């Protein structure tokens, strides 16, 4: 179980730093604004699979070039016979999944499947030459290396949502009473994330989420589903470090509000969220609510 691995990592580096995958804590009052790269490299979940009729065949100098990056040229499998013209713009994406294939928290894989099909943004193309059955396109924007077989779709504008100043962050904000979900995964597939990371949550349009909404991330310490490395009953007792005379459950203690993020993309049962603020590490399995 990855939680055990994380616990071992934290134990090994106690007092000196944080485990790999743990983002640095943000200074209270500071925020990050999502820009063009954040919005167009954020990835998304979709209820149905994207069509695979248009794709990257290869690129220039394919004898030794295994990947294709910005300013290079690639070949796509449609040309003038399909109406492609010089100047046409396309987006490149790839269906993605956690390469480790192991749950960070119980039920993660099942929840991810219920959210839809996950796609990573790879980059953008502009057609520079059209032949009958193929076209040559320049990689004009790149999120990651482009590969043969990557999916190509017509370019679509994405809104860059306005953001709010964080002001004084309330670590004990009251429950909003709006739909609650969880951080299920992230664009990097790491267990812990922080300010500036992109995460995927299991709240979407069906739960009233839309682009530009803010979600609050929180955690109840000691809850059974909590994925932060822990020992049983640590909320009120730690052997050798004192204990409360009374047993406490997660529901008896204040929740910890860890940060917040802005929605960049929303499908029926999922949303892509950019973390604009975090006061500590945010783990897959932590809860979110609509503010």
Q: Please check whether residue 127 lies inside any domain of the structure.
A: yes
pLDDT at 24 over 70: no
The more confident residue out of 264 and 162 is 264
Looking at the fold, whether 19 and 111 belong to one and the same domain comes out as no
This prediction's pTM: 0.83
C-alpha closest to that of 104 among 246, 4, 234, 188:
4
Full domain range(s) for residue 83: 46-154
14-18, 26-30, 210-214 — most confident range? 210-214
Q: Please check whether residue 41 lies inside any domain of the structure.
A: no
Q: What confidence score (pLDDT) does residue 228 get?
A: 61
pLDDT digits (tens, 9 = 90+) for 222-278: 766 656 656 777 777 888 888 889 888 878 888 899 999 999 999 999 999 999 999
Give the CATH number of the domain where residue 139 resides.
Answer: 2.40.10
The more confident residue out of 80 and 35 is 80
- State how many domains the chain has: 2
Enumerate the β-bridge partners of residue 287. Answer: 182, 218
Looking at the fold, whether 140 and 199 belong to one and the same domain comes out as no
Looking at the fold, whether 167 and 250 belong to one and the same domain comes out as yes
Q: Is 287 exposed, middle or buried (0-12, 13-18, 19+ CB in 10 A)?
A: buried
Q: Please check whether residue 138 lies inside any domain of the structure.
A: yes
Looking at the fold, whether 190 and 261 belong to one and the same domain comes out as yes
Length of the chain: 291
Q: Is 246 exposed, middle or buried (0-12, 13-18, 19+ CB in 10 A)?
A: exposed
Q: What confidence score (pLDDT) does residue 30 get?
A: 56
Alpha helices in 135-250 (DSSP H): none
């Amino acid at each position: 179980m990855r939680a055990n691995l994380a616990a071992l990592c934290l134990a090994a580096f106690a007092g000196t730093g944080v485990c790999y995958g743990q983002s640095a804590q943000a200074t209270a009052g500071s925020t990050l604004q999502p820009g063009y790269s954040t919005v167009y490299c954020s990835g998304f979940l979709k209820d149905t699979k994207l069509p695979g009729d248009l794709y990257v065949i290869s690129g220039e100098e394919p004898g030794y070039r295994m990947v294709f990056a910005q300013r290079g040229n690639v070949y796509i499998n449609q040309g003038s016979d399909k109406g492609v013209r010089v100047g046409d713009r396309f987006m490149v994406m790839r269906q993605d999944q956690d390469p480790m294939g192991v749950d960070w928290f119980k039920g993660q894989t099942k929840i991810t499947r219920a959210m839809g099909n996950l796609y990573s943004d790879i980059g953008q193309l502009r057609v520079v030459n059209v032949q009958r059955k193929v076209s040559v396109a320049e990689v004009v924007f790149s999120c990651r290396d482009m590969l043969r077989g990557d999916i190509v779709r017509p370019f679509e504008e994405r809104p860059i949502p306005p953001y709010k100043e964080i002001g004084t962050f309330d670590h004990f904000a009251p429950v909003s009473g709006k739909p609650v979900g969880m951080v299920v995964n992230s664009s990097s597939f790491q267990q812990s994330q922080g300010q500036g990371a992109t995460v995927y949550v299991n709240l979407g349009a069906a739960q009233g989420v839309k682009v530009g909404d803010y979600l609050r991330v929180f955690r109840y310490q000691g809850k059974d589903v909590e994925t932060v490395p822990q020992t049983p009953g640590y909320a009120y007792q730690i052997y050798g470090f004192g204990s409360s005379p009374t047993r406490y459950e997660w529901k008896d203690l204040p929740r910890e509000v860890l940060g917040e993020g802005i929605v960049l993309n929303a499908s029926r049962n999922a949303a892509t969220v950019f973390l604009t603020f975090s006061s500590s590490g945010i783990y897959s399995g932590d809860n979110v609510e609509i503010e």
